């Protein structure tokens, strides 16, 4: 009898113990559906017909000599010249010099543009003093300052850095100012309800809301700086991709010119894509919120 009671009591005690919860199943990533991938694949496919058609027309024009080879060399000739320039290291050295100039000029213009854009966007007094002068300054193209700057600083590296910085400065300043001015007033009102001070409102409300247009300004600034670099190297430089284009033209080596032009376009495209990838990563919280 006692054995039965103890067994029953032991069973009740075991039943009273908390049961271990089964481990939740591991989350699996949903499989990629073809329907979701099709828009991306379709866009990639639609991007190829036009450049392939241009390349085919170029090859036909060179093969049938519709245009003299001295003016329009064949694509294979340009490719062979590209390989030769790469093997000799001339292409890499000139590309590196151009990238260094863009880096220094872009960083200088970006720092100044962000500072001025934030100052005008947050202070009506600064905006009233400086915005009209900035607009007048922005209307003059970068190369329009070239003759004056050549007389002041010469044709050394300072000239190129200043012109690249100016090309970066204008779009970053303008987009930063517009981004801060475009922050919805409802965001400010909610922040005041939560009792945010000025620094908290700036750090947690104003700057995050204005970040997308500010980053667009950074992308435009990098694009403009690259274009300004090529322009100034075409006019006043003894190194860089722009100089390589001028050098090929002076020697009437159009294959060298076209090879350098292809590199200019490829590097500019790559720089913009890198900033686009960084933007997609930084703004990932916007997609996760919806």
Confidence of residue 174 (pLDDT cuts 50, 70, 90): very high
Domain that holds residue 153: 74-183+210-283
Q: Tally the domains of the chain.
A: 1
Mean pLDDT of 260-284: 86
pLDDT of 209 higher than 90: no
Mean pLDDT of 244-265: 88
* Assigned domain for 63 exists: no
Structure tokens at 123: 């202070």
Q: What is the Cα–Cα distance from 205 to 109, expressed in whole angstroms?
A: 26
pLDDT of 94 higher than 50: yes
* Assigned domain for 130 exists: yes
* Assigned domain for 188 exists: no
* Assigned domain for 44 exists: no
* pLDDT tens figures, 46-84: 778 888 888 888 888 888 878 787 788 888 888 999 999
Contact between 55 and 75 under an 8 Å Cβ cutoff? The reply is: yes
Cα 237 to chain centroid distance, Å, stands at 26
* Assigned domain for 124 exists: yes
Supply the CATH number for residue 91's domain: 1.10.3720.10
* Assigned domain for 256 exists: yes
Structure tokens at 288: 């996760």
Confidence of residue 34 (pLDDT cuts 50, 70, 90): low
pLDDT of 35 higher than 70: no
Mean pLDDT of 185-192: 81
Residue 116 class from Cβ within 10 Å (0-12 exposed, 13-18 middle, 19+ buried)? buried
* Assigned domain for 192 exists: no
* Assigned domain for 3 exists: no
* pLDDT at 25 (0 to 100): 52
Output the pTM of the full model: 0.76
């Amino acid at each position: 009898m006692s054995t039965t009671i103890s067994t029953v009591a032991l069973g009740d005690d075991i039943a009273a113990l908390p049961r271990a919860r089964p481990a939740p199943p591991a989350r699996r990533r949903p499989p990629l559906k073809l329907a979701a991938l099709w828009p991306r694949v379709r866009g990639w496919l639609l991007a190829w017909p036009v450049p392939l058609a241009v390349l085919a027309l170029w090859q036909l024009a060179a093969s049938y000599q519709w245009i003299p080879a001295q003016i329009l060399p064949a694509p294979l000739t340009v490719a062979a010249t590209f390989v030769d320039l790469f093997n000799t290291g001339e292409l890499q050295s000139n590309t590196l010099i151009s990238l260094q100039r863009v880096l220094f000029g872009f960083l200088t213009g970006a720092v100044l543009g962000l500072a001025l854009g934030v100052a005008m966007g947050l202070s009506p007094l600064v905006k009233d003093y400086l915005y009209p002068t900035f607009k007048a300054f922005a209307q003059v193209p970068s190369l329009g300052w070239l003759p004056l700057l050549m007389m002041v600083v010469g044709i050394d590296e300072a000239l190129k850095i200043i012109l690249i910085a100016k090309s970066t400065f204008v779009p970053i300043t303008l987009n930063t100012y517009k981004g801060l001015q475009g922050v919805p007033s409802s965001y400010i009102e909610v922040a005041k309800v939560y009792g945010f001070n000025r620094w908290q409102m700036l750090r947690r409300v104003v700057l995050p809301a204005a970040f997308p247009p500010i980053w667009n300004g950074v992308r435009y600034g990098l694009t403009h700086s690259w274009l300004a670099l090529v322009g100034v190297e075409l006019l006043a430089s003894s190194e860089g991709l722009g100089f390589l284009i001028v050098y090929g033209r002076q020697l009437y080596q159009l294959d060298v010119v076209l090879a350098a032009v292809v590199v200019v376009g490829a590097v500019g495209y790559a720089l913009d894509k890198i900033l686009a990838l960084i933007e997609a990563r930084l703004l990932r919280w916007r997609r996760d919120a919806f």
